[in-house]
Structure 1
């Protein structure tokens, strides 16, 4: 009889440890020496210039929405440079941006803005 009374507290302790959630159990944290992972952001874009026409495709592989804009600088001083309206590129989405100059295109770039 004495043996069963001494096993009762041990049995209760083992049952509590087995049924506690993992987060509640103490465990050693291991620091691997690496900095924390960066918060990845930004759609990857590719642009094509054909004559005076510009087309850009932007694909967002990340979880945050990326607001992209197409900027076109024209080669002629009298030709008006253009900036597209901002377009929200949601996760796993590809958007198309287009614009043009009257004559030649000097440069093209895409700006990115994190949506809040």
Structure 2
């Protein structure tokens, strides 16, 4: 039974890495010579907190650190395995410059996937 529990945890962690939505991936810096929209300075600023998501049984914890000067609103999303176990989308938390925030949530039983989405704070 312990092997099944570990296998479920490894499977959930692997699913988190493989099934991340495009918004959850930290954005790379825009090169200085980029010929994109020069009028939109917000799109040229580095953005996106770096998040570590940990699944431990039915509990999920994410630590997000924002190394950039602009605030990032992060939100934890959890998808549960059982059909009767409600998936959850946590409330958005603002991670200011050089700030680390903790997000947590849970399923009643097993976790299928967990990820963090990012949104620029205006």
TM (norm. structure 2) is: 0.65
Post-superposition Cα deviations, 1:49-87, rounded to whole Å, max 9, x if no partner, equal 000000000000000000000000000111000111100
Structure 2 segments unaligned to the other structure (5+ residues): 1-31, 35-43
Post-superposition Cα deviations, 1:16-48, rounded to whole Å, max 9, x if no partner, equal xxxxxxxxxxxxxxxxxx615x42100000011
Find the aligned partners of 1:49 and 1:94 in 2 and give their Cα distance: 19
Tell me the secondary structure at the aligned position of residue 64 of structure 1.
coil
2:105 to 71, 78, 99: 99
The number of aligned residues is 82
2:81 aligned with 1:75:
yes
Which structure exhibits the higher relative contact order, with contacts defined as CA atoms closer than 8 Å and separated by 6 or more residues?
A: 2
Q: Flag as ranges the 4+ runs of structure 1 deviating above 3 A.
A: none
Find the aligned partners of 2:56 and 2:92 in 1 and give their Cα distance: 22
TM (norm. structure 1) is: 0.68
Alpha-carbon RMSD across the aligned residues, in angstroms, is: 1.0
